[in-house]
Structure 1
Amino acid sequence: MSMKRYKSINHDAVSEIEIKKLWSDFDLPEIVSIESQAEYSSTGFIIITTKNKYYLCLHPAKPSIFSRSQNDLLGEIDILQRLREKRLPVARPIATKDDKLIISVKGRKGFLRGYLECEALKKPSTVNLTQAGVLLAKIHLSLRRWTPPHRRTQFWGPEKIRRYWTKNKKIILASKLPDKKALVDRLEQKQHEFKFSKTLPTGILHEDFGQRHVLWHKNKITGVIDFDRSYRGLLILDVGQAIRGWCFDPAWKKLNLEKLNYFLSGYQSQRQLSVAEKKHLVQAIKFGLVERGLSFLLRGLNYNNREWLDFARRSLFNLVDEVEKMAPEIEKIKNTK
C-alpha cells in the first residue's frame, strides 16, 4: 500500500499503521488500501475495504488556524445528519463500536464518513447550473429554522474580516509583496462598504458551495461535500459565494450573466429571494470575492504560492470592479423566478 503525500503541506503525518489501529474501533470491513489527499487545511484518507470505500478527514492539531474543536466537528455532523433526514445527498457520518463519532490522532481531530463515488464537473451546462441552484435552496430550506444540538464557534461573514483585520493587516504589510500597500488600502476600502441589514433572512450556510464541492453522476447531483465551513449567517451571503463559485467564466475572466440567470432561476424555483435580499445581491457577490481574495492572499503568503497571490489580486481588484460595473444588468436578472 502506498500513501500519497504532498511535500508543500506541513501537517503531522499519520501513518497507515495508525489508521489501521484506529480501524479496529469500527465494526467495518477489512482495509485493502489507503490513499491520502493532503490539502492546506486538512488531510483526507480514502479508505478502500473489501466491501466499501470510506473517507476520513483529519484537521491539523492546535495551534494551527485550521484546527477544529470537538464542537465544530459535532456541529458539522449534526448538519450532515439533518440533511440526510431531508433526503439530500450528503455523506453518512460513521460511529465507532462504542458510538463515538469524533476521532483523534496525534491531536488531529476528524470523523469518518461514507465515501461518495462521484465527481465534480469541470464544465457545468446550463441545466447543471439550474440543478445546483435548486440544491442550494433545498439546503437552506432544510436548515433555516433548525438549530443544531452542537453550536459551532467559527464564522466567515463580514464581521470576521473586521475582527481580525488588525492582525491580518500586519501580516500583509510585513510581507515582501511590492503592492502590499495597495492591497491593504483596497481591503480597508471594501470591508467598510459591506453593510448588510440585520433583518435579512438567516440560516445555516454551506459557505463554500462551489463546483468542486458538488458531485455528479450521469448528469445528476449525487453528493455535496465539505460542510466544514458551515455557520449560521445571512442566507444571501451563501448565495453570493455560490455565484462566485458557479457563475464566472473559466480562469475567472468575468461574471457570466447567462450562468447567473440559470443558477438564480434554479434557486428561486425552490426559495424566492426576499425584496431585501435582492437589494443586497450585488453586495453579497462582491463580499464573496473580497472574502476569498483575502483568504487566498494570506494563504499565498503562508505557502509562498504565486498562483494564489495572483488569484487574490484578480479577485480584489478586477473582479470586484467588474461586478460593480455590471450591477444594472444583475439587477434585471435577480428578479427571475
Structure 2
Amino acid sequence: MIRLTIRQMQYFESLAETLHFGRAAAGCGVTQPALSAQISEMEAQLGLRLFERGAGGVALTAEAQALRPRIERILAELRDLESEARRERQVLEGRFRLGVIPTVAPYLLPELLPRLKQRFPHLQLEIREAVTGTLLEETGSGRLDGMIAAEPLDDPRLVHEILFRDPFHLAVPEDEAERIAPPVAQESMALERLMLLDEGHCMRGQALDICGKVKPVAMESFGATSLTTLLHMVAHGMGVTLIPQLARASVQMLPSVRVLPFVDPGPSRTIILAWRRTNPRQADFAALCAIARDAQRSLAAAAAA
C-alpha cells in the first residue's frame, strides 16, 4: 500500500519549484540530506523516478510533471483547511504569499509594505514577482494565497476584487516633448516609435490595444523585461513607451524623460487582487484591498504634487 505523507508532498512541491536540493531544503526548514531521503522514499513508494539528478542540476521527469498538479491541489486543500480551522486568528496574521506583476511591484510595494508592517505586525508576508501567467498558475494551484495583477484574468479557479484604475501616460525624450504636442491622441504618429515589454507581460498587449490605428515599428527592434529598462532607453532617445500612473513619480526623477497625457478619455488599466474561490481568508483579502487602495492614493498624490 502506498502511504505518501504530507511532508513528502511538501518536499516534492518545494523541489519541483526550485529544482535545487539545497534551496528546497532551506525553504522547508530542513537539512538537505533529510529532504533527499524523503524524496527517495517517495520515489520508492510510488515506483517512479521523479527527479533526474545530474551535473547540470535537477529536472522533473515526465512522471513528476504529470503528478505535480495533483500534489499541488492536495496541498492547497490542506492549506485552506488549516486556514478555516484558524478563523479565530487576527486579520492578516501568519504566513501570506502574495504575487505581484512586474509593472506594479516596484511602484506599489514601497508604499504598501510599510503600511502592512505597521498595521499588521504579526503578518509573515512573502512576495513573488512574476508575469501574469505564472502568478495565475501559482495562485490557482495554492502556491500563492493571492495575486495583484491587471484585468482581464481568465481563470475559473479565481475570484477578484478591483483595487483601482491606473491611467496610462506616454514617456518621451525631453527634447521631443514639444514636437509631440500633448495631449497625445491614440492615433499620434509618435506611437510608431513605441517600445514594448517582452512577450509574457500583460502591458505588452495593453500597449498594442492603445495604439489604435498606428502600428509600432520599434517593437520589432526593441524589447525589455522591465519598465525601468524601457525608460532608460527613452531617456537616450531610442523611442517612446507607455507608463502607468503608478510609475509616474519614479519617472519624474529621470531628467531626460517627459511624461505626456493622452487625450481624454485616456487609456488605463484596472488593477485587481485575485485569490482562489475556495480560500477562506476573506477578511485578509478585504484588509489587503483596503490598504492597497490607500497606498495607491498616496502615490497618485505624490505624482500630482
Taking structure 1 as the reference length, the TM-score comes to: 0.27
Q: Who wins on radius of gyration, i.e. which is larger?
A: 2
Taking structure 2 as the reference length, the TM-score comes to: 0.29
